[in-house]
Amino acid sequence: MRESTGADPSVVAADYFQSYSVVGLLAVVGVLFVAVAFGAGRLLRPVVPTPEKLLTYECGVDPVGEGWAHTQVRYYVYAFLYVIFAVDSIFLFPWATVFAGDGYGATTLVEMFIFLGFLAVGLLYAYKKGVLAWT
């Protein structure tokens, strides 16, 4: 036999959907605000296309030749490694806070060395595969 909690399920569901209706209303207002801003910008801006305005502009250099440029894939590898270590450094800040504050010092120290170990193994793997060699 089920025990009664005293709350009507339909009232609880109504409160639940009412709280989300406020979030939905704010989302609609936000979308309308952006749409009105874009519409006002489109209506108010001057439209005077000239040949100079229709040219592709790249760092003050007039476009000459074809638009494709060959780029070394190694640039992307270094950028990817930078992103990985930048994100991982974000994980170090809360660790330092927890390590200095609460009584979980030894546990957080072990977990962080495991985390840094995984990073070191990944970097060593990339080095051994020759990904980091520029030549």
Q: Is the pTM of this model over 0.75?
A: no
Residue 72 confidence (pLDDT): 75
Write the DSSP assignment of 63-110 as a string of letters. Answer: P-S-S-----HHHHHHHHHHHHHHHHHHHHHHHHHHHHSSS-HHHHHH
Separation between Cα atoms, residue 103 and residue 6, nearest integer Å: 41
State both tokens at 67. Answer: 């638009």
Residue 10 confidence (pLDDT): 64
58 forms bridges with which residues in the sheet? 61
Mean pLDDT by 10 residues, the chain (135 residues): 57 72 92 97 89 72 68 78 81 71 71 85 86 73
**Cβ contacts of residue 109 below 8 Å, gap of 6+?**
99
State both tokens at 102. Answer: 């609460």
